A and B are shown apart, each in its own frame.
Chain A
Amino acid sequence: MLQSPQFADVTDVVARLGKAGYLADDGIATTVFLADRLGKPLLVEGPAGTGKTELAKAMAAATGAELIRLQCYEGLDEARALYEWNYKKQLLRIQASGGDKSWSLTHDDIFSEEFLLARPLLAAIRRTGPTVLLVDETDKADVEVEGLLLEVLSDFQVTIPELGTVRAQRRPLVVLTSNATRELSEALKRRCLYLYLNYPDAAREKAIVLARVPELPEQMAESLVRTVRALRALDLKKPPSIAESIDWAHTVLALGLDTLDEAAVRGTLGVVLKHVSDQARAVTQLKLGPG
Chain B
Amino acid sequence: MANLLDRTVAFSGALRAAGLPVSTAETVDASRALVAVDLLDRESLRAAMAATMCKRPAYRRAFDTLFDLYFPVAYGDGVGTTGDDQAQSPQAQPAPSPAAVGDGDEDVNAMRDQLRDLLLDGSDEDLRRLAREAVRRLGRGETQPGQRSWFAYRVLRRLSPETLLSWLLTRMLDDERGGLAEQVARQTIAERLRVFQEAVESEARRRLAEERGVDKVAQTAVKPLTEQVDFLRASRGDLAELRRQVYPLARRLATRLTARRRLGRAGRLDFRRTVRASLATGGVPMQTVHRPHKPHKPELVVLCDISGSVAGFSHFTLMLTHALREQFSKVRAFAFIDTCDEITGYLRGDDLGDVMARIASEADVVWFDGHSDYGHTFEAFAQRYPDALTPKTSLLVLGDGRNNYRSPALATLKRLVGQVRHAYWLNPEPRSYWGSADSAAPDFARVVDEMVECRNVEQLSEFITRLLPV
Identify the stretch in B45-53, B110-118, B207-215 within 8 Å (CB) of chain A at 4 or more residues. Answer: B45-53
- What distance in Å separates the Cβ of A52 from its nearest Cβ neighbour in chain B? 13
Quick check: is B81 within 8 A (CB to CB) of the other chain?
A: no
A95 to B124 CA separation, bound complex (whole angstroms): 73
From A38, A192, A288, contact of B180 by CB (8 A): A288
Interface 9-mer from A57-65, A105-113, A183-191, A242-250: A183-191
In the bound complex, residues from chain A placing their C-beta under 8 Å from that of B255 are: 181-182
CB 8 Å contact bits of A49-84 with B (1 = contact, 0 = none): 000000000000000000000000010000000000
**CA separation between A254 and B41, bound complex, in Å?**
42
- A215: interface (CB < 8 Å): no
Interface digits, A260-288 against B, CB 8 Å rule (1 contact, 0 not)?
01100100000000001100110001111
**Are the C-beta atoms of A193 and B188 separated by less than 8 Å?**
no
B32 touching A38 by the CB < 8 A rule? Answer: yes
B330: min CB distance to chain A, Å:
23
User: Contacts of A230 on B, CB cut-off 8 Å?
Assistant: 183-184, 187-188
Is residue B467 contacting chain A, with contact meaning CB distance below 8 A?
Answer: no
Q: A34 touching B180 by the CB < 8 A rule?
A: no
Q: Are A226 and B252 CB-contacts (below 8 A) given A33-B36, A237-B247, A287-B179?
A: no
A34 and B179 form a contact (CB under 8 A): no
Q: Name the B residues within 8 Å of A229 (CB-CB).
A: 184, 187-188, 191
The interface-forming segment of A163-171, A195-203, A205-213 is: A195-203
Chain A residues, Cβ within 8 Å of B23: 190
Q: Give bound CA distance, A50 to B178, whole Å.
A: 31
B443 close to A (CB within 8 Å): no
B243 within 8 A of A: yes
Q: Which of A84-140 contact B (CB under 8 A)?
A: none
Judged by a CB distance under 8 angstroms, whether B450 is at the interface is no
- Do A38 and B29 touch (CB < 8 A)? yes
A26 touches B124 (CB 8 A): no
Tell me, yes or no, whether B351 is within 8 Å of chain A by CB. Answer: yes
Chain A residues with Cβ below 8 Å from B25 are 190
Q: Which of B1-9, B54-62, B70-78, B394-402 binds A? A: B54-62
Residues of A close to B52: CB separation below 8 A: 34, 193-194
Q: A190-B26, A193-B52, A230-B184 in contact; A143/B47 too (CB < 8 A)?
A: no
Main secondary structure of the interface of A (DSSP, over half): helix
Q: Contact mask B154-193 → A, CB, 8 Å, 1/0?
A: 0000000000000000000000001111111101101100
Query: A196 contacts B60, CB within 8 Å?
Result: yes
A31 interface residue (CB < 8 Å to B): yes
- For B42, give the chain A residue with the smallest CB separation: A26
Q: Are A277 and B183 in contact (CB under 8 A)?
A: no
The verdict on B251 contacting chain A, using a C-beta distance below 8 Å, is yes
> Which chain A residues border B10 with CB–CB below 8 Å?
none
Closest beta carbon of chain A to B241's beta carbon, Å: 12
B54 and A194 within 8 A (CB): yes
Complex contact B48–A196 (CB within 8 A): no
Contacting residues, chain B, for A151 (C-beta < 8 A):
none
Cβ contact within 8 Å between A226 and B38: no
Complex contact A227–B43 (CB within 8 A): no
In angstroms, Cα B187 to Cα A164, docked, is: 61
B350 on interface, CB distance cutoff 8 Å: yes
Number of interface residues of A (CB under 8 A): 54
Q: In the complex, A227 Cα to B181 Cα: how many Å? A: 8
Asked if B360 CB lies within 8 Å of chain A CBs, one says: no
Q: What sequence of 0s and 1s flags, for each residue 395-432 of chain B, a beta carbon within 8 Å of any chain A beta carbon?
A: 00000000000000000000000000000000000000
Determine how close the nearest CB of chain B comes to the CB of A10; give it in whole angstroms: 6
Q: Does A6 contact B (CB under 8 A)?
A: no
Counting chain B CB atoms within 10 Å of each CB, the highest count among A9, A30, A182, A281 belongs to A30
A201-B124 contact in complex given A181-B255, A229-B187, C-beta closer than 8 Å: yes
Any chain A CB within 8 A of the CB of B44?
Answer: yes
**A190 proximity list for chain B (CB < 8 A):** 23, 25-26, 55
A214 interface hit (Cβ, 8 Å): no
Q: How far is the CA of A2 from the CA of B47 in the complex (A)?
A: 24
Contact B51 A34 (CB under 8 A): yes
Q: B353 on the interface (CB 8 Å rule)? A: yes
User: Residue B351 contacts which of A180, A183, A281 (CB distance < 8 angstroms)?
Assistant: A281
List the B residue with the shortest CB-CB distance to A184: B55
Q: Which residues of B lie under 8 Å from residue A265 when comparing CB positions? A: 180
> A18 in the interface, Cβ–Cβ < 8 Å?
no
B13 lies within 8 A of chain A by Cβ: no
A27 CB within 8 Å of chain B: yes
Name the residue on B nearest A47 (C-beta): B57
Interface pairs (9), CB distance under 8 Å: A27-B47, A30-B43, A34-B48, A230-B188, A235-B352, A262-B180, A277-B351, A287-B182, A287-B183
Which positions in B face A, CB cutoff 8 Å?
Answer: 21, 23, 25-26, 29, 32-33, 36-38, 41, 43-44, 46-48, 50-52, 54-55, 57, 60, 124, 178-185, 187-188, 190-191, 240, 243, 247-248, 251-252, 255-256, 259, 262, 350-353
A sample of 16 more A-B contacts (CB under 8 A), given A31-B50, A180-B57, A186-B21, is A27-B46, A28-B47, A30-B37, A30-B43, A34-B48, A38-B36, A181-B251, A193-B52, A195-B51, A201-B124, A226-B185, A230-B188, A233-B191, A262-B179, A280-B351, A288-B179
Question: Would you list the 3 A-B pairs with minimal beta carbon distance, nearest first?
Answer: A30-B47, A277-B350, A230-B187
